[in-house]
Amino acid sequence: MAVEEIQRVGVVGCGLMGSGIAEVCARAGRSVIVVEADRPAADRGRQRVEASLRRAVTAGKLGEEDAQAVLARVEVGTDFGAMADRQLVVEAVIEAEPEKVRVFETLDKVVEAPDALLTSNTSSIPIMKLAMATQRPEQVLGLHFFNPVPVLPLVEVVASLLSGDEAVALAERFAVEVLGKRAIRAKDRAGFIVNALLIPYLLSSIRMMESGFATAEDIDTGMMKGCAHPMGPLALADLIGLDTTMAVANSLYEEFKEPLYAPPPLLARMVDAGLLGKKTGRGFYDYADGERRASR
């Protein structure tokens, strides 16, 4: 299959990542069907796409007619059977191995084309574990996007030991030639390239705050003004989601058993309390009215 032949894309999950992936594929002129767990989740997902497109129009990056055309190419529903004719599917559900394995078991049953690409947006779970849930592991690989998907240009392309060379090359060409992303290839190890480097940095900043060594504001200001980072590590953890940060850390620790990957107790307690960062209104900072402020 040539890259220009991939016209029908499926996305499983329409949260922050799934909605962004759906948007960039629709912006590239592809027909996109998104599947969510239930109708309320599907409605929230479509609203995320609409809100993102409105921001693009307000910023002058997209015309109103173009935004409406993009939205018309996105269908959000709850029927997994709608994935049957898709040529490329991106799984973007929560960062939990059992949930992702179930998605790939289902995709293997419903996606009809044997050469369709079944990909995962996982940030840490080994692709091999997902591939072995199917009868076509050579067509399974990782396509790891970064949040916010319409803005950040990077995609990690991750091949398992069983991923076919043609499938990997086709996925990479789709990311680069169709979506306009910059692709890097990563080995099938927990965390891949970016999170294997990023997560220890985030966890170190949490330990520094937890120990009372410095405040969240001073840690973030130090990295922004002293190292020219666009965002401090604690604000970044809030943006990623503290539950996702901990899930990736646990996956890394399970694979490598190195202390730098172990989630600090403070992170675990915040996740237990539902203080997950920006998406819940409170994490290391408060976001009650949309503005970021020092947390209580």
Residue 202 has pLDDT above 80, yes or no: yes
What is the per-residue pLDDT across 34-83, written as a single tens digit (0 to 9) for each?
999 999 999 999 999 999 999 999 999 999 999 999 999 999 999 999 99
Task: Check 52, 120, 121, 123 and give the catalytic one.
Answer: 123
Q: Indicate if the pLDDT at residue 296 is higher than 70.
A: no
Catalytic residue among 156, 163, 205, 217: 156
- DSSP labels, 261-289: GSPPHHHHHHHHTT--BGGGTBSSEE-TT
Question: Does 220 lie in the same domain as 177?
Answer: no
CATH code (residue 87): 3.40.50.720
195 is an active site residue = yes
| Number of structural domains the chain divides into | 2
Please check whether residues 88 and 155 belong to one and the same domain. Answer: yes
Kindly state the percentage of the chain with pLDDT values over 70.
100
Residues 118 and 237 in one domain: no
**Per-residue pLDDT band at 277 (split at 50, 70, 90):** very high
Domain boundary among 157, 186, 215: 186
Residues 134 and 268 placed together within one structural domain of the fold: no
Confirm whether 97 is a catalytic residue: no
Picking from 59, 86, 109, 82, the residue whose alpha carbon sits closest to that of residue 1 is 86
Which of 140, 166, 186 marks a domain boundary? 186
144 assigned to active site = yes
What is the pLDDT of the chain when averaged over all its residues? 96
What confidence tens digit (pLDDT) does each residue in 226-267 have? 999 999 999 999 999 999 999 999 999 999 999 999 999 999
Model confidence pLDDT, tens digit, residues 20-29: 999 999 999 9
Model confidence pTM above 0.85: yes
| Options 19, 52, 121, 195, the catalytic residue | 195
User: Does residue 257 share a domain with residue 172?
Assistant: no
244 in the same domain as 151: no
| Catalytic, out of 36, 95, 144, 205 | 144
181 and 210 inside one domain: no
Instruction: Using the predicted structure, report yes or no on whether residue 137 has a pLDDT greater than 80.
Output: yes
Same domain, 169 and 199: no
* Distance from chain centroid for Cα 292: 23
229 is catalytic: no
Give residue 288's domain range: 194-294
Residues 26 and 116 in one domain: yes
